[in-house]
Amino acid sequence: MNRLKDESSPYLLQHKDNPVHWWPWSQEALDSAHKEDKIILLSIGYSACHWCHVMEKECFEDHEVAELMNKHFVNIKVDREERPDLDHLYMDALHMMGLQGGWPLNVFLLPTGEPIYGGTYFPKKKWMGVLRSLLQVFTERRDEVEASGEGFRNSLQNNELIKFAKTSSEIYYTKEEASQMAENLSAHFDVSEGGMDRAPKFPMPSLWQMVAHLAQFTENDALREHYDFTLGRMTLGGIFDHVGGGWCRYSTDAYWMVPHFEKMLYDNAQLLALHQQYPTPISDWACRKTVQWLDREMKVASGGYYAALDADSEGEEGRYYVWTEEELKLASIPTEVLNEYGISERGNWEDGKNILHLEHWPKNWEEIKESHEKLLEIRENRVRPGLDNKLITSWNALLVNGLMGVEPDKAKDLMDYLLASHTFLCKNEDGEEALGCFHLGKNDKILGFLDDYASLILASIEVYSHTFDETYLEKARKMINYVLANFYDPEDGFFFYTDSQAERLIAKKKEIYDNVIPSSNSMMAKALYFGGRYLAEREYVKIAEDMVAKIQPMTLKDAQWLSNWVDLILYMSEPQIEWVITGPEAMWWAEVLKIKRKTSSTLILAGEKESQLPLFHDKFLAKTALFVCENQACQLPIFDLNEL
């Protein structure tokens, strides 16, 4: 029977009526495979995944397919956003097989859990062939299959750093190294459309954050110009929802025009932060539009934000977002606006449909904004895409950073909710308070992963840097200490993805490479570095430096996929300055100094009354004072800002 009806994951519930006898991931399912000596089909996806829906319709709703699967396999469905540990592990296995990754991720396992074959989307005929072939091989060549599975297990257990044979090196970049890195990156730029020279195009926020930092570090105007050009193209293009706000997950073409229409919280959280680094009229409009969308469609009444919106509605990809020329004319959209958007009867996409996109920032912008409001009102009457109502700690923490430059009060409220609400807390086996992933209205919480902690620590530090409320730094300290006790591997100086008390899988992984979301280890290294500097905890900084020393040589060869590491190393390569401000006008001085600050590697600490932070020790005088410190060693106080 299908056992998904009592699950809380929207993705699993999408499959609850399939004729396939799905199990959720559980010890009971694994025991069943072992007892019956059957191959496990592990099928991993997420609720907003278009090709997951397609394969469900073609294969998992088909009774012929279901009969074959039910008779010979133990079939397990997993939501990758609930169990990113399983997704990471078996996606690595797929790559080891020399196959391209993606979702749905379908991996076949031995009854003992070792992977033997896999793939992503399969149409029915090919899927049936794969099932029959695997059955035959499993029956007739069992020894070979088990040897292959054991080989994959051993490879998965290899430490990422051992795999790439990296040893400690320098932790800084010279100007020459950074300039060479900029040159190498520039060789892969798409100079006509922005972004990198590939399609499909993902926004990759951490990559462009690094590019902006690298441009500043190397004083490379061309690099900065391409950064500005790229952000403009991805916002004017169809990947951005001009009517309702929010960026879609990626563009299927090289032009940022035709999106894969799902909207993910993690993309929008990071893109909000990215577009505020160097604000422009385009970025300001996009950010405010996106915050409106988040509050309108993604916000939980009690606090926090949902995970994602589906690409499909009424069984059709993008239906909610596209328009025919006739629909736009019936809405009395002015001809000038239709011309700006290149609207035609033939359409610029499929079946006469038009995706709204602009080639340039138009002069009749006010008229266009009025049209957006009119179209939003019409669109509200359409059937909305499905909502994934998971509350994911790490994605919400990323949103704290994204909101801070647009709606700082909302950012602080979200941070307070994340830190205080029982929603995001659970207990580990020792009864310690730990982070978790939560489903609204359900009690099933999953023990937090490294990215949950790292992103929440960074969000705490970010909120302190705006509010100077030391409570946030103390929360960061508490979480850092928990991570050091429960995730740290002293053998190589990096962090496991899973808590020491989490379920044991066939391998325990460490995330090193950055992707659309930075790797959990690069985020944790940043959390240790900045947390250590604010808290004057040299041990934290030293761990971050040791991590970077092993990664730095890799970044010189492959900056694209280590972008968050590069960003951190650039910070480390700049002067380590702290401005400590004390006294009755400390907060006002801090706001002035934020404008004067030339690099964000200069940290600002401000307090109007006595503080427990070590950098404030013996620095409270009769009047407001600024202490300029380098590597925690401070000069005599300055009492006039003009002296800085």
Distance in angstroms (rounded) separating the CA atoms of residues 454 and 451: 5
Tell me, yes or no, whether 358 and 270 share the same domain: yes
Distance in angstroms (rounded) separating the CA atoms of residues 341 and 355: 9
Look at the chain and report how many structural domains it folds into.
3
Tell me, yes or no, whether 225 and 316 share the same domain: yes
Mean pLDDT of 510-518: 96
pLDDT at position 162: 61
Tell me, yes or no, whether 234 and 302 share the same domain: yes
Tell me, yes or no, whether 143 and 58 share the same domain: yes
- Residue 38 belongs to domain spanning: 10-158
Tell me, yes or no, whether 326 and 256 share the same domain: yes
Place of tokens 């609850």: 16
- Using pLDDT thresholds of 50, 70 and 90, give the confidence band for residue 165: very low
Q: Is 30 within the bounds of a domain?
A: yes
Question: Greater confidence, 348 or 165?
Answer: 348
pLDDT at position 16: 97
Q: Is 559 within the bounds of a domain?
A: no
Residue 240 has pLDDT above 80, yes or no: yes
Q: Is 284 within the bounds of a domain?
A: yes
Reduced to 3 states (helix: H, G, I; strand: E, B; else coil), residue 373 is helix
Tell me, yes or no, whether 314 and 380 share the same domain: yes
Q: Is 151 within the bounds of a domain?
A: yes
- Using pLDDT thresholds of 50, 70 and 90, give the confidence band for residue 447: confident
Q: Is 332 within the bounds of a domain?
A: yes
pLDDT at position 430: 56
- Using pLDDT thresholds of 50, 70 and 90, give the confidence band for residue 160: low
Q: Is 568 within the bounds of a domain?
A: no
Which among 158, 179, 211 is the end of a domain?
158
pLDDT at position 643: 81
Mean pLDDT over the full length of the chain: 93
Residue 626 has pLDDT above 90, yes or no: yes
pLDDT at position 103: 95
Q: What is the pLDDT of residues 130-142, one digit of tens each?
A: 999 999 999 999 9
Tell me, yes or no, whether 137 and 77 share the same domain: yes
Q: Which residues contact 394 (CB under 8 A, 6 or more apart)?
A: 266, 449, 451, 452, 454, 455, 456, 517
pTM of the model: 0.93
Residue 426 has pLDDT above 60, yes or no: no
Place of tokens 């899927």: 127
- The CATH number that applies at residue 24 is 3.40.30.10
**308 within 8 A of 46, measured Cβ to Cβ:** yes
Tell me, yes or no, whether 135 and 263 share the same domain: no
User: How many helices and strands, by DSSP H and E, does the chain display?
Assistant: 24, 22
pLDDT at position 480: 96
Distance in angstroms (rounded) separating the CA atoms of residues 572 and 482: 25
Q: Is 503 within the bounds of a domain?
A: no
Poorest-confidence range of 175-189, 441-455, 603-617? 441-455
Poorest-confidence range of 230-244, 346-360, 468-482, 599-613? 599-613
Q: What is the pLDDT of residues 246-278, one digit of tens each?
A: 999 999 999 999 999 999 999 999 999 999 999
Residue 20 has pLDDT above 90, yes or no: yes
Tell me, yes or no, whether 67 and 194 share the same domain: no
Tell me, yes or no, whether 233 and 373 share the same domain: yes
**185 within 8 A of 563, measured Cβ to Cβ:** no
Residue 122 has pLDDT above 90, yes or no: yes
Angle between helices 205-218 and 265-274 (to 10 degrees): 20
Q: Is 17 within the bounds of a domain?
A: yes
Q: Show the tokens assigned to 391.
A: 């509350």
Tell me, yes or no, whether 332 and 251 share the same domain: yes
Closest listed residue to residue 566, CA positions, set 144, 204, 70, 114: 204
The one-character DSSP state at 141 is -
What's the first-to-final CA gap in the chain, in angstroms?
Answer: 73
Tell me, yes or no, whether 245 and 102 share the same domain: no
Which among 158, 181, 210 is the end of a domain?
158
pLDDT at position 439: 44
Residue 440 has pLDDT above 50, yes or no: no
Which among 386, 413, 446 is the end of a domain?
386
